[in-house]
Chains A and B, each alone.
Chain A
């Protein structure tokens, strides 16, 4: 290749980077395709999530097929974005391949080793850590860190460490070989095999990095708890344990372990994975070896005076619904293993938890922790042997605590607890209780009757995203940024749906929104967390105020004032008892790589391609980037559009040129001009009609004082200034459903980018308003007025000086059209407004004036929730 050729090539390359290679129409098509795929992916996710509800029957083929379809769509989505932004987004493809690989491993039934540290402190855990810390300690982390209930300090040696240990000692290979070759139906062979595996675990070498991580954690715990003779409870926390299956009593716990004995205790617990009972239990329930992993929790011992267990739903005759407590002196092992007599207390499930019966057992001996580690049985002093070990006060505290845990998990619970010498209550663990409450569906008619006497605030509004029942205190949020103080157990009432609400999904008892779609990002999350949710009610934030106590019945879609006691029993029963099948667990695991959303806030540091951990993350990232890129492109389209443009003949001198990129006008291709009637683009038509129908153009803002004279003066002045040749021509790119408009009127410059079609999820209006000849104060007053109006019509508005950015998403076509017409009116009203904004009071005056006059639009009159200004929403500076 000669130098000239090389140089040419270089310059070609150089040029191509400075301007898009593809025509706008093509890029726009890619954008549309991204929107479509985005919706398909969200729908598929919702569809797969539905299957976890328990009412569906699906096979593994379904899981394989649906994940195949989703990954195909996600891949194409990324490719579309590459074309649109004319760049290779390597990080996105890498993230895609990583997730894809993990899913394939799951589908193939291979062991998926969680990426995590060898040891996690209990303070770091919550319910999301079941892979790393096992269900038992993930739950305990939730109880400690989310519910803020008292638990003992400690840490978890993760499943990752279990894998590393087993791998380092060649144990997985040994076990796989054994399982494949041995006849395990033969009891003696099974037992000999298990014995052999356990011996190898007990004598196995612990990899050094795990040893040092355990010592580091022990240092932290000992440092925090300043005692030299600390003792630990070392407990199992296997995958699947305390979840769908209890595995109760299958795995080992080692109590009262001194610091130096912790690693040996770990081996003992790990070895209990391979007792003949545990192995049989797993084989019997279709658990595969790749689904077996043991995390081990290590917590400070409670020097228990009294301990025991509590069922929030006593397994007794159906007509008597009760809680039951078992309690005994000393450590709880005697009660849990059922080896000694204990007290039995029945009490009401509903507050104030009246005691129904107390039966004191004869407690002749108890288990205590010995000085040098280990436990021992000792005699109970005679006077205490037949005495009840719990006072009424403690019974109440236990009942309230257990009820709180039950409400949180929405399922009956089996809670283990202990009380120390100082009288402090500690939760040792809580697991779902495998009793099914009496079938509430049978009581439904009775409950509906009872609910009739409750006051329904509204019903049948919007779309149920996740069924269920919840009562609680309303928390109305004005923006999705003010969630730091969201109280636990509250009902979130928000104007719009936002994926940012994932932050409080674990705290919220229910969610209600005014607008939003049932297949959006937030809806997927609500299903994932099983939070009863209704979206698009139109009126939730108007009817409900922070502090109201309400009951949401998201089965019948009714919101009642107050707590409807009869409905409250549905809170724990709507949650289907998980299906106990391999397919179910497989779907659940695969969905973990698909649906969780980590990239929530586009302005945050982590909103990057490389940080995508799930398909949902990628989808959200691409969507955000595509919108950004389209706005970028359209701002520069004049340089390279390839469609013939037409002038609009319009009663108002907008001086507008329209470029039709697809079914946006009915004018002939060669025509040089068109009329309003020939505009078929939904958003463009709505805007232009709004401008005329609102009659805001002809009549300037009503003036009531000296300013009136000034304003009429300056109006004349500025309309002469705003001759077309001074401002350049106005341009719109339209299709049947899309409009991108750059509009300069007088001294105001607006950009409007909007899509309005039949698919709610696609619909959006993006509005940017800037400029004006006036003082800074007046312009910012005008900005505030515009933001006030937009918020009144459901926009999210952001003000930076005299720049206003308004965004509106996910409303039905009709409601979008209504709002676009309002924007038409607003553009007309504001064109001279800044010179009129002489004082802050003018903001309110114009706001009232505009709101009253905009009622001339039929759409505004018909759309009741529209056009009511919400009080208390006047502070826009931090608003996004």
Chain B
């Protein structure tokens, strides 16, 4: 179990993607790697959840029905500046990448991606937290 930077509990991850397959595959992969995972297919319920609970890491798609991923990203940053945000998107333009970094995303992963890519991004975030 990878402990979070400052305490002994599991790192908690929220995943939001309107494509069910992404959640379906990421959840077991992260659980296997020792993380606690919650997944959401729509941004409304994900928003409700982050209002209730702080996650260490949020992984979100950018382009979705309803509230845009960018709105969700901004809200999470507003609530928890410490939370690491990793953006995954199928529309990988340098513009969207720039904007998500500007809004405080830690990393940017273009779809389709390898499981290893996103696990690496999460670990890099944990490493950076340890250094701080």
Contact = CB atoms under 8 A, between A and B. Distances in A.
Contact of A579 (B25, B90, B114): B25
Interface in B83-122: 90, 111-116, 118
B114 A583 contact: no
A57 B90 contact: no
A61 B88 CA distance: 14
B112 A59 contact: yes
Contacts of B19: 59-61
Contacts of A57: 21-22, 25-26, 111-115, 118
Interface string A38-68: 0000000000000100011111111001000
A854 B23 CA distance: 62
A581 B115 contact: no
Given A581-B21, A581-B24, A581-B25, A58 B115 contact: no
Interface string A569-584: 0000000000101110
Interface residues of A, number: 14
Nearest to B118: A57
Interface string A506-539: 0000000000000000000000000000000000
B21 A59 contact: yes
Interface in A577-598: 579, 581-583
B116 A58 contact: no
A56 B113 contact: yes
Contacts of A579: 25
A440 B22 CA distance: 26
Sort chain B's interface into a size bin: 10 to 19
A56 B21 contact: no
B13 to A, nearest CB: 15
A808 B90 CA distance: 40
Contacts of B112: 51, 56-59, 62
A62 B111 contact: yes
Nearest to A61: B90
Contacts of A56: 112-115
B21 A55 contact: no
Contacts of B114: 55-57
Contacts of B21: 57-60, 581-583
Nearest to A59: B19
Contacts of B118: 57
B90 A59 contact: yes
Contacts of A58: 21, 111-112
B61 to A, nearest CB: 9
Interface in A200-214: none
A56 B117 CA distance: 9
Contacts of B26: 57
A582 B25 CA distance: 12
Nearest to A62: B112
A425 to B, nearest CB: 40
B7 to A, nearest CB: 29
Nearest to A66: B112
A60 B26 CA distance: 16
Nearest to B18: A59
A59 B22 contact: yes
A270 B103 CA distance: 57
A60 B113 CA distance: 13
Interface string B4-31: 0000000000000001011011100000
Contacts of A51: 112
Interface in B1-59: 19, 21-22, 24-26
A55 B115 contact: yes
A57 B115 CA distance: 7
Interface string A825-869: 000000000000000000000000000000000000000000000
Contacts of A582: 21
A65 B21 CA distance: 17
A582 B113 CA distance: 18
A61 B22 CA distance: 12
Nearest to A53: B114
Interface in A51-94: 51, 55-62, 65
A61 B89 CA distance: 11
A579 B25 CA distance: 9
A56 B112 CA distance: 7
A43 B12 CA distance: 38
A57 B119 CA distance: 12
Contacts of A581: 21, 24-25
Nearest to A57: B25
A56 B25 CA distance: 10
Nearest to A55: B114
Contacts of B24: 581
B24 to A, nearest CB: 7
Nearest to B29: A57
A582 B24 CA distance: 11
Contacts of A65: 90
19 contacts: A51-B112, A55-B116, A56-B112, A56-B115, A57-B26, A57-B112, A57-B113, A57-B114, A57-B115, A57-B118, A58-B21, A59-B111, A59-B112, A60-B19, A61-B90, A62-B111, A65-B90, A582-B21, A583-B21
Interface of B: 19, 21-22, 24-26, 90, 111-116, 118
8 residue pairs, one from A and one from B, having the closest CB atoms: A58-B112, A59-B19, A583-B21, A62-B112, A56-B112, A55-B114, A57-B25, A581-B21
Interface of A: 51, 55-62, 65, 579, 581-583
